[in-house]
Amino acid sequence: MTQPPLPPLRLARLRLTDFRSYAAFDGRFAARIVAIAGENGVGKTNLLEAISLLGPGRGLRGARAAEIGRRSGGEARPWAAWGRFEGPHGACDIATGTVGEDGPDARRKWRLDGEPLKSGAELADRAAAVWLTPQMDRLFQEGASGRRRFLDRLVWALEPGHAREVAAHETAMSGRNRLLGEGRRDARWLAALEDAMARHAVAAAAARRALVIRLNALLEAGTATGAFPAARLALLDPIAAALDATPAVAVEDRVREDLAANRARDAAAGGAAVGAHRADLALIHLPKDLPAELCSTGEQKALLVSVVLAHATLIGAARGFAPLLLLDEVAAHLDQARREALYTALAGLPAQVFLTGTEADIFAPLQGLAEGFGVTPSGLVPLPEFPVPNPV
Residue 365: helix, strand or coil by DSSP?
helix
For residue 392, name the pLDDT band (cuts at 50, 70, 90): very low
Q: Cα separation of 311 and 151, whole Å? A: 11
Q: What is the mean pLDDT of residues 235-250?
A: 96
Is residue 5's pLDDT more than 80?
Answer: no
Q: Cα separation of 149 and 67, whole Å? A: 19
- Of 27, 30, 31, 57, nearest to 44 (Cα)? 27
Instruction: Report whether 363 contacts 386 (CB < 8 A).
Output: yes
Question: Could you please report the per-residue DSSP string of 24-88?
Answer: EEEEE--SSEEEEE--TTSSHHHHHHHHHTSSSSSTTTT--GGGTBPEETTEEPP-EEEEEEEST
Is residue 147's pLDDT more than 60?
Answer: yes
State the pLDDT at residue 104: 58
Kindly report the number of other CB atoms within 10 A of residue 259's CB atom.
Answer: 24
State the pLDDT at residue 118: 87
DSSP assigned state of 230? P
pTM score, whole prediction: 0.86
Q: Cα separation of 271 and 289, whole Å? A: 35
Write out the H or E segment, with its range, that includes residue 237. none
| Residue pLDDT, tens place only, 177-218 | 999 999 887 899 999 999 999 999 999 999 999 999 999 999
Q: What is the mean pLDDT of residues 317-331?
A: 88
Kindly report the number of other CB atoms within 10 A of residue 255's CB atom.
Answer: 26
Question: Could you please report the per-residue DSSP string of 136-155?
Answer: GGGTTTS-HHHHHHHHHHHH
| Of the listed ranges 116-130, 269-283, 287-301, the one predicted with least confidence | 116-130
Q: Cα separation of 29 and 50, whole Å? A: 14
**Range ranked top by mean pLDDT from 185-189, 219-223, 286-290:** 286-290
Residue 18: helix, strand or coil by DSSP?
strand
Is residue 73's pLDDT more than 80?
Answer: no
For residue 1, name the pLDDT band (cuts at 50, 70, 90): very low
State the pLDDT at residue 207: 97
Q: Cα separation of 171 and 197, whole Å? A: 9
For residue 162, name the pLDDT band (cuts at 50, 70, 90): very high
Is residue 47's pLDDT more than 80?
Answer: yes
Q: What is the mean pLDDT of residues 128-143?
A: 89
Q: What is the mean pLDDT of residues 216-231?
A: 84
State the pLDDT at residue 80: 96
Instruction: Report whether 21 contacts 363 (CB < 8 A).
Output: no
| Residue pLDDT, tens place only, 339-381 | 888 999 898 888 899 999 999 999 999 999 999 999 987 789 9
State the pLDDT at residue 285: 94
Is residue 239's pLDDT more than 50?
Answer: yes
The residue that leads in pLDDT, 320 or 264, is 264
State the pLDDT at residue 102: 61
Max Cα-Cα span within the chain: 68
The residue that leads in pLDDT, 56 or 176, is 176
